[in-house]
């Protein structure tokens, strides 16, 4: 939407949150693991543009998004972990990545359910998203991520009770009252 566009500096920060389909190609040689390796998933996504990556606003927008996502997971799960990825685990466009993980009883490991990435000017330079600074055009910095992948979340929640289907209590709290008797 903002590719090859000049954004008015007074409109920053620009923040978008959406839900929809996310497509991830299946990697050849990878073993399919049910809901954890689906190619098409419903997901909640975030995309934030901030003027300068060294500004206080950039850091406060990251913290605000991180706190919002933590609140979301607090309301959905009894236990999750937040992991700051090491440099070797980062993708080429990321300068930092914070992952949200749930335990998979089947895999006997934590599975990434969502993440937030700090990308600096990587995307805006490539997509020519700019704003007018004092005497030149500048590129905004990007904070983005998949806040929640529904199939991965469901996979972990369903594995919590392998004997029968049990809706987790934290999910029941957010359901209409006529479903809470299930």
- Lowest mean pLDDT: which of 54-63, 154-163, 165-174? 165-174
* Residue 164 near residue 42, CB atoms below 8 Å: no
CA 6 remoteness from chain centre: 26
Task: For 113-127, write each residue's pLDDT tens digit.
Answer: 999 999 999 999 999
Per-residue pLDDT averaged across 7-34, rounded? 85
Fold classification of 6-173 (topology level) = BirA Bifunctional Protein; domain 2 (3.30.930)
Q: Would you say how long the chain is, in residues?
A: 182
Pairing of strands 129-132, 137-138: antiparallel
Domain boundaries, the chain: 6-173
Task: For 59-107, write each residue's pLDDT tens digit.
Answer: 999 999 999 999 999 988 878 999 999 999 999 999 999 999 998 888 8
Listed residue (98, 96, 123, 101) closest to 111, CA to CA: 101
Provide the pLDDT for residue 142.
Answer: 94
Q: How confident is the model at residue 179 (pLDDT cuts 50, 70, 90)?
A: low
Q: How confident is the model at residue 161 (pLDDT cuts 50, 70, 90)?
A: confident
Per-residue pLDDT averaged across 40-48, rounded? 92
């Amino acid at each position: 939407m903002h590719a090859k566009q000049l954004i008015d500096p007074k409109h920053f920060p620009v923040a978008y949150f959406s839900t929809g389909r996310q497509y991830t190609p299946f990697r050849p040689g990878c073993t399919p693991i049910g809901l954890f390796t689906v190619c098409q998933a419903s997901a909640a996504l975030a995309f934030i543009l901030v003027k300068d990556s060294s500004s206080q606003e950039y850091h406060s927008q990251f913290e605000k998004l991180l706190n919002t996502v933590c609140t979301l997971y607090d309301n959905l799960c009894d236990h999750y972990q937040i992991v700051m990825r090491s440099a070797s685990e980062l993708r080429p466009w990321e300068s930092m990545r914070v992952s949200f993980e749930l335990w998979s009883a089947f895999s006997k490991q934590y599975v990434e359910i969502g993440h937030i990435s700090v990308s600096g000017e990587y995307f805006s330079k490539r997509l020519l998203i700019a704003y007018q600074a004092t005497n030149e055009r500048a590129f905004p910095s990007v904070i983005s991520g998949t806040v929640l992948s529904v199939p991965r979340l469901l996979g972990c929640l369903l594995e919590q009770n392998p004997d029968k289907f049990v809706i987790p209590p934290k999910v029941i709290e957010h359901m209409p009252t006529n479903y809470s008797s299930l």
